[in-house]
Amino acid sequence: MIGQRPNEMRTAARRVRGLGSARSGTRHFWHQRVTAAAGVPLTIAFIVIVVALTGRSHAAVVQILGSPLVAVLMLLFIVNTLYHMWIGMQEIVLDYVHDDKLKILALLGNTCFVFAVGFASAFAVLKLSFGV
């Protein structure tokens, strides 16, 4: 075939249109499992922290959430969870939303939501931690 690269299964037209393997198909699959495994101990830590803070005064909550160990655990939980759910929601959108415009909007919305929640949560923990 004219224009065919050696060892290339795709046709030249396929390549120009950008369809086919991008060699990154399993990246999200793998990252979803890595963050799932990391999420187990981090979720346990999160639940313990929340239960320990239940019913305490504002001053006590500020002090405990801002202490280095608790703050680091919270930050790890936040980053790990948000990356996990970003991949997860993307998967749901790609499975169920077939209209191109809606799909792009939903994927953008997913990214925006994750960044908004992530930055708000992480910023709050950092502010408590640095005691400003």
Partner 1 sequence: MAELEAGTTTGARRPRPLSPHLQIYRPMLTMVMSIVHRITGAGLYFGTALLAWWLLAVASGPNAYANFEWFAGSIVGQLILFGFTWALLHHALGGIRHLIWDLIYGFEPAEREMLTVATLVGSIALTIVVWIVGYLAMGGPR
**Interface ranges with partner 1 (CB under 8 A):** 33, 36-37, 39-40, 43, 47, 51-52, 54-62, 65, 74, 78, 81-82, 85, 88-89, 92, 113, 116-117, 120-121, 123-125, 127-128
12 vs 94, beta carbon nearer partner 1: 94
Smallest separation, CB 57 to partner 1 (Å): 5
Kindly report the CA angle at 83 between 29 and 104, in degrees rounded to 5? 80
**CA of 40: how far to CAs of 18, 44, 82, in Å?**
38, 6, 14
CA–CA separation, 41 and 15 (whole Å) = 44
Smallest separation, CB 55 to partner 1 (Å): 4
Query: Distance between terminal CA atoms of the chain?
Result: 67
Smallest separation, CB 101 to partner 1 (Å): 21
17 vs 119, beta carbon nearer partner 1: 119
CA–CA separation, 116 and 122 (whole Å) = 10
Smallest separation, CB 61 to partner 1 (Å): 5
* Contact by Cβ (8 Å): 120, 76: no
17 vs 127, beta carbon nearer partner 1: 127
